[in-house]
Protein backbone atom coordinates (compact mmCIF):
# COMPACT_ATOMS: atom_id res chain seq x y z
CA UNK A 1 0.00 0.00 0.00
CA UNK A 2 1.31 3.45 -0.85
CA UNK A 3 1.60 6.44 1.47
CA UNK A 4 -1.81 7.60 0.29
CA UNK A 5 -4.92 6.55 2.15
CA UNK A 6 -8.24 5.62 0.49
CA UNK A 7 -9.40 9.24 0.20
CA UNK A 8 -6.36 10.14 -1.93
CA UNK A 9 -4.63 12.32 0.69
CA UNK A 10 -0.96 11.56 1.15
CA UNK A 11 0.94 11.92 4.40
CA UNK A 12 1.85 15.43 3.34
CA UNK A 13 -1.83 16.34 2.93
CA UNK A 14 -2.73 15.04 6.37
CA UNK A 15 0.17 16.91 8.01
CA UNK A 16 -0.71 20.08 6.09
CA UNK A 17 -4.31 19.74 7.28
CA UNK A 18 -3.19 19.38 10.90
CA UNK A 19 -0.91 22.40 10.53
CA UNK A 20 -3.80 24.43 9.11
CA UNK A 21 -5.98 23.36 12.05
CA UNK A 22 -3.35 24.46 14.58
CA UNK A 23 -3.01 27.82 12.80
CA UNK A 24 -6.80 28.25 12.80
CA UNK A 25 -7.04 27.40 16.52
CA UNK A 26 -4.42 30.06 17.26
CA UNK A 27 -6.45 32.59 15.29
CA UNK A 28 -9.60 31.56 17.18
CA UNK A 29 -7.86 32.09 20.52
CA UNK A 30 -6.95 35.63 19.44
CA UNK A 31 -10.34 36.60 18.03
CA UNK A 32 -12.80 34.62 20.19
CA UNK A 33 -14.47 32.91 17.25
CA UNK A 34 -15.82 29.46 16.51
CA UNK A 35 -14.60 26.71 14.16
CA UNK A 36 -16.83 23.96 12.79
CA UNK A 37 -15.74 21.00 10.71
CA UNK A 38 -17.87 18.11 9.58
CA UNK A 39 -18.17 15.43 6.94
CA UNK A 40 -20.13 12.40 5.97
CA UNK A 41 -19.54 9.14 4.17
CA UNK A 42 -21.56 6.07 3.22
CA UNK A 43 -20.83 2.70 4.80
CA UNK A 44 -22.38 -0.73 4.94
CA UNK A 45 -23.17 -2.18 8.36
CA UNK A 46 -22.31 -5.71 9.40
CA UNK A 47 -25.93 -6.61 8.66
CA UNK A 48 -25.51 -5.40 5.06
CA UNK A 49 -27.60 -2.25 5.58
CA UNK A 50 -26.40 1.01 4.01
CA UNK A 51 -25.71 3.64 6.68
CA UNK A 52 -24.59 7.25 6.50
CA UNK A 53 -21.83 8.19 8.92
CA UNK A 54 -21.81 11.84 9.99
CA UNK A 55 -19.05 13.28 12.14
CA UNK A 56 -17.82 16.67 13.13
CA UNK A 57 -16.69 19.00 15.85
CA UNK A 58 -17.05 22.59 16.87
CA UNK A 59 -14.30 24.45 18.71
CA UNK A 60 -15.29 27.64 20.51
CA UNK A 61 -12.74 29.98 22.03
CA UNK A 62 -13.63 33.31 23.60
CA UNK A 63 -14.32 35.34 26.67
CA UNK A 64 -15.77 33.72 29.75
CA UNK A 65 -19.51 33.97 30.31
CA UNK A 66 -19.03 37.07 32.47
CA UNK A 67 -16.78 38.68 29.84
CA UNK A 68 -13.82 39.06 32.23
CA UNK A 69 -11.20 36.57 31.06
CA UNK A 70 -10.57 34.15 28.25
CA UNK A 71 -12.34 30.85 28.76
CA UNK A 72 -10.78 27.48 27.96
CA UNK A 73 -11.39 26.24 24.39
CA UNK A 74 -14.48 24.06 24.23
CA UNK A 75 -14.63 21.17 21.75
CA UNK A 76 -18.11 19.80 21.04
CA UNK A 77 -18.38 16.67 18.87
CA UNK A 78 -21.51 15.87 16.90
CA UNK A 79 -22.71 13.18 14.52
CA UNK A 80 -23.37 9.46 14.78
CA UNK A 81 -19.81 8.09 14.86
CA UNK A 82 -18.74 7.12 18.37
CA UNK A 83 -15.70 5.36 19.77
CA UNK A 84 -16.50 2.40 22.00
CA UNK A 85 -14.67 3.16 25.27
CA UNK A 86 -13.99 -0.52 25.99
CA UNK A 87 -12.75 -1.70 22.58
CA UNK A 88 -11.51 1.59 21.09
CA UNK A 89 -13.37 0.79 17.86
CA UNK A 90 -15.40 3.52 16.16
CA UNK A 91 -18.97 2.56 15.30
CA UNK A 92 -21.84 4.24 13.47
CA UNK A 93 -24.90 4.59 15.68
CA UNK A 94 -28.52 4.82 14.57
CA UNK A 95 -29.11 8.04 16.54
CA UNK A 96 -27.22 11.20 15.56
CA UNK A 97 -26.00 13.74 18.10
CA UNK A 98 -26.86 17.14 16.59
CA UNK A 99 -24.84 20.35 16.71
CA UNK A 100 -26.05 22.67 19.49
CA UNK A 101 -25.17 26.15 20.73
CA UNK A 102 -26.11 27.64 24.12
CA UNK A 103 -26.31 31.40 24.66
CA UNK A 104 -26.75 32.97 28.12
CA UNK A 105 -28.55 36.21 27.36
CA UNK A 106 -28.93 37.42 30.95
CA UNK A 107 -32.69 37.21 31.45
CA UNK A 108 -32.97 33.95 29.49
CA UNK A 109 -30.97 31.10 27.97
CA UNK A 110 -31.26 30.44 24.25
CA UNK A 111 -30.42 27.01 22.81
CA UNK A 112 -30.12 26.48 19.05
CA UNK A 113 -29.97 22.91 17.72
CA UNK A 114 -29.47 21.81 14.10
CA UNK A 115 -31.94 19.01 13.25
CA UNK A 116 -31.99 18.59 9.44
CA UNK A 117 -35.26 17.13 8.16
CA UNK A 118 -37.12 17.68 11.43
CA UNK A 119 -40.28 19.72 12.05
CA UNK A 120 -41.89 21.17 15.16
CA UNK A 121 -44.10 18.10 15.79
CA UNK A 122 -41.10 15.74 15.64
CA UNK A 123 -39.29 17.25 18.66
CA UNK A 124 -39.47 16.14 22.31
CA UNK A 125 -37.87 18.19 25.06
CA UNK A 126 -37.17 17.15 28.65
CA UNK A 127 -35.76 19.64 31.16
CA UNK A 128 -34.29 18.49 34.47
CA UNK A 129 -32.71 21.34 36.42
CA UNK A 130 -29.70 22.35 34.27
CA UNK A 131 -29.89 19.55 31.66
CA UNK A 132 -32.02 19.86 28.53
CA UNK A 133 -32.59 16.62 26.60
CA UNK A 134 -33.54 17.06 22.95
CA UNK A 135 -34.94 14.09 21.04
CA UNK A 136 -36.36 14.17 17.53
CA UNK A 137 -37.42 11.60 14.99
CA UNK A 138 -38.90 11.65 11.50
CA UNK A 139 -38.65 8.58 9.31
CA UNK A 140 -35.10 7.27 9.51
CA UNK A 141 -33.73 10.55 10.93
CA UNK A 142 -33.19 10.20 14.68
CA UNK A 143 -31.48 12.74 16.93
CA UNK A 144 -30.68 12.91 20.63
CA UNK A 145 -28.56 15.35 22.65
CA UNK A 146 -28.15 16.14 26.34
CA UNK A 147 -27.25 19.80 26.76
CA UNK A 148 -25.73 21.18 29.96
CA UNK A 149 -27.17 24.64 30.63
CA UNK A 150 -25.31 27.41 32.51
CA UNK A 151 -27.89 27.26 35.32
CA UNK A 152 -31.04 25.41 36.41
CA UNK A 153 -34.22 26.45 34.60
CA UNK A 154 -37.95 26.00 35.16
CA UNK A 155 -39.76 23.83 32.59
CA UNK A 156 -42.87 26.01 32.99
CA UNK A 157 -40.99 28.85 31.26
CA UNK A 158 -39.71 26.80 28.31
CA UNK A 159 -40.64 27.98 24.80
CA UNK A 160 -39.55 26.26 21.59
CA UNK A 161 -40.01 26.30 17.85
CA UNK A 162 -38.48 24.27 15.05
CA UNK A 163 -38.41 25.72 11.54
CA UNK A 164 -36.46 24.36 8.58
CA UNK A 165 -34.57 21.94 10.83
CA UNK A 166 -33.41 24.64 13.29
CA UNK A 167 -34.74 24.21 16.82
CA UNK A 168 -34.73 27.29 19.04
CA UNK A 169 -35.44 26.84 22.75
CA UNK A 170 -35.86 29.80 25.11
CA UNK A 171 -35.59 29.17 28.85
CA UNK A 172 -36.51 32.04 31.20
CATH level 3 topology of 98-172: Immunoglobulin-like (2.60.40)
Nearest to 33 by CA among 65, 5, 63: 63
> Is 69 a residue whose pLDDT tops 50?
no
pLDDT of amino acid 147: 94
> Phi first, then psi: what are they for 52, rounded to 5°?
-105, 120
3-state secondary structure of 124: strand
User: What proportion of the chain, given as a percentage, has pLDDT over 70?
Assistant: 61
pTM equals 0.64
Question: Alpha-carbon distance 54 to 99, whole Å?
Answer: 11
Radius of gyration of the chain (CA): 19
User: What proportion of the chain, given as a percentage, has pLDDT over 90?
Assistant: 40
Q: What is the DSSP letter of 18?
A: H
Amino acid sequence: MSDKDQSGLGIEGVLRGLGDLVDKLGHLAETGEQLKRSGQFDLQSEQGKDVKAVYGFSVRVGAAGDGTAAAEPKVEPFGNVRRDEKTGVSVVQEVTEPMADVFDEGDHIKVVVELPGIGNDDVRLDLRDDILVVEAERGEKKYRKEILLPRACDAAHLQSSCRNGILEVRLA
